[in-house]
Amino acid sequence: MSLVSLSLLVAAAILVAIAPVCHAVGDVGIVIERAQPGQIEKCPYCGKFINVKTIHTDAEKIVKTKLEQALTRHGVGFKEGKEKQPYINVLIYRFQERQGGNFSVEGPASIGLHMHLIESNVVKRTFVFDEDQQALTQNILNIGKFLKRGARWITMDELAQEGIDAGTDYLLEILQ
């Protein structure tokens, strides 16, 4: 075996050893649910209290699309339903569009959802995203977030993207 071949073999072995785990199509299931106003005070999965409010008509569709995109970016395959183990359950309890434009609003975008990583009917991990965008004058400590968002009021779609991305990052830590 030549020195070049041996070097390539060692390099390949090192890459395999340090490469993150890559999952195949269908590695996790996806279940998206909408909370019903007045019927739920506590999340039926993690037991945390939730405040059910207005949920946009397309909330499930938007969340499903964003979750699928986030899983794809992580190299994790997915399939709809609980049959595939583990699965990610998303319970949406608030999903409201901003009222106004980029620089002036009557009401900010507002998202409330729980993301659960469930396996064998056991909640392995929970991520809570519960945010109403605030004006910088309401909380100066949010200046980093304000600048990251382009110093403007973001849409419900953009706020959902932030939440789903953060939740997916957190939930998938234990799968990799």
Q: What are the domain boundaries of the chain?
A: 24-172
Q: What does the pLDDT look like over 75-132, one tens digit per residue?
A: 999 999 998 889 999 999 999 886 665 555 466 788 999 999 999 999 999 999 998 7
**Which residues is 146 bridged to in the sheet?**
none
The CA distance from 90 to 111, in Å, is 12
Q: What is the pLDDT of residue 97?
A: 82
Q: How many helices and strands in the chain, by DSSP H and E? A: 4, 7
Residue 108: per-residue pLDDT: 73
Neighbours of 29 (CB within 10 A): 19
36 touches 91 (CB < 8 A): no
Mean pLDDT across 50-58: 92
How many of the other CB atoms lie within 10 Å of CB of 1?
Answer: 6
Query: Domain spanning 24-172 has what CATH number?
Result: 3.40.50
